[in-house]
Amino acid sequence: MSPEELSFLDTLRRIAADKIAPLAAETDETATFVHRQLGVLAEAGVMGANLPDPVGPGISAACLYALVEVVAGACGSTASALTAHYLATDSLLLGATQALQDRFLPAAAEGRALGAFALTERNAGSDPADMRTRAIREGDGYRIKGSKCFISNGGAADFLVVYAVTDPAAGHRGISAFVVEKGTPGLVPGRVERTMGLRGGHVWELEFDCLIPEASRIGPEGTGFKTAMKVLDNGRLEVAAMATGIADVALSLAKDWCKTRIIGGEPLSNRQGIRWQLADMATDLAAARALAAQAVALRESGTRFTAQASMAKLFASEMVARVTDAALQLHGGYGFTRDFPLERLARDCRIFRIYEGSSEIQRMIIAGHIL
């Protein structure tokens, strides 16, 4: 990273520690959406960090990865909402016309407009080919009819990138992408799901029966699936960043606890078995970052990194479960209480093995590339 990027990250760490981390426990307890935290990130210039200059800061892929780590370490819910916003703007960046980009990306980069990525359906989670939401030609535009579920930012977003079937006979090649703005007649946010973790990064059900203009389509008809898969490469790498960010915090908490917790007249860290646990946790985290670094390098070069993103996401999402659980165990009964952050970290990271493609799906993608 450049000296300017390193300085930017130092500033972000201070902001995250002072203005985001202190809200994390309250956000979890009250399940309040992270509007305040996203406002802080907007002031820091983070909401458009995934976008190139001149719309965004044009930072490197390595800096973007580190940025997501910092935010996740301060508050997982905030990182989840931020990266969902990135999925929406990445969709526009990778697939939309310049006119559509000019309409939405500047506001999104400045934090004046929040985005959401609406792909998942109840019967089409792991396989978008089973998608039931339709975009049917009507007049000079399309009528989008159907429903989505588990959509991060869905009911709070100012615009949604919605994937729908335009040609039911064409399978993956019959999926197209559209921008639907908040307040469009027929767009109805449903309930917020009651989730185990990331309780401030809300996920919504959404119902659609709305008419939108043809100009709101992202790219030609039938290119939606291709766009979504490229976007998910980015998203999976950002899930890995969230995982390593949370694991880094869990390891730090465990290290400090073991150095100061006195049992039998000596700190826990003097005991060989404890030291071995900390060593395994640190090695696990370093391995996850090393895998992610391969994907980061390919992303920076502009080369497709589907297999590398899947490997990074698979390993990191399972690694963070091991590390947070070990950190909680080292804290004993205290780790199980809400007075300590470990139980929240353990709940927040559980979804990483499911969203942006489950661990099982990542193994299918990786095997497909091997074979």
Cis previous bond, 54, omega within 30: yes
Specify whether 181 is catalytic. Answer: no
Distance CA 177, CA 42 (A): 26
Contact 142, 186 (CB under 8 A): no
Helix-helix angle 272-301:224-260, to 10 degrees:
150
Dihedral-angle region of residue 58 (phi above 0 means left; psi in -120 to 50 means alpha; beta otherwise): left
Annotated catalytic residue within 138, 181, 356, 360: 356
282 burial type by CB count under 10 A (0-12 exposed, 13-18 middle, 19+ buried):
middle
Contact 72, 245 (CB under 8 A): yes
Distance CA 66, CA 245 (A): 8
**Residue 336 CB coordination number (10 Å):** 14
Best CA proximity match to 175, nearest among 130, 117, 125 = 130
Q: Which residues form the catalytic set?
A: 356
